[in-house]
Amino acid sequence: GESVGLHLPTLSVQEGDNSIINCAYSNSASDYFIWYKQESGKGPQFIIDIRSNMDKRQGQRVTVLLNKTVKHLSLQIAATQPGDSAVYFCAENPASGATNKLIFGTGTLLAVQP
């Protein structure tokens, strides 16, 4: 069935280092992907998105890479800060019908050490 999974459930980095969070997806027809950040007790917060006709997109301190050949998505955070500590989810919009639903993975906990 459709699924979006993450390779690492927990990632611990030092403040100032770069972080890379990985995600694998199974639906090759998916054409839209989003990264969300979720802090404890809050709803998911949009970080960055990418469409399937792109392989890279940059935001402020974040970059998303999409490799459709191996169905892999990654989120790079530059100069990681303590405020980046949270659970990060990748989500895909499967190409099925007119409903804009999202399929989420289980998440990666990013822990930033001072």
Binding residues (CB under 8 A) for other proteins: these are: 4, 31-32, 34, 36, 41-46, 49, 51, 89, 91, 93, 95, 97-107
Distance CA 42, CA 37 (A): 10
Minimum Å gap between C-beta 106 and other proteins is: 5
Instruction: Give, in order, the Cα–Cα distances in Å from 7 to each of 36, 42, 71, 74, 81.
Output: 16, 24, 13, 10, 22
CA distance 60 to 37: 14
Closest to other proteins by CB, 5 vs 16, is 5
Choose between 34 and 77: whose C-beta lies nearer to other proteins. 34
Rounded Cα distance, 74 and 10, in Å: 15
Nearer to other proteins, 13 or 102 (CB): 102
What's the rounded Cα separation, in Å, for the pair 42 and 109?
Answer: 14
CB of 79 to other proteins, least distance (A): 24
- Which amino acid appears at position 14 of this protein? Q
Closest approach of other proteins to the CB of residue 94, in Å = 9
Smallest gap from Cβ 91 to other proteins, in A, equals 8
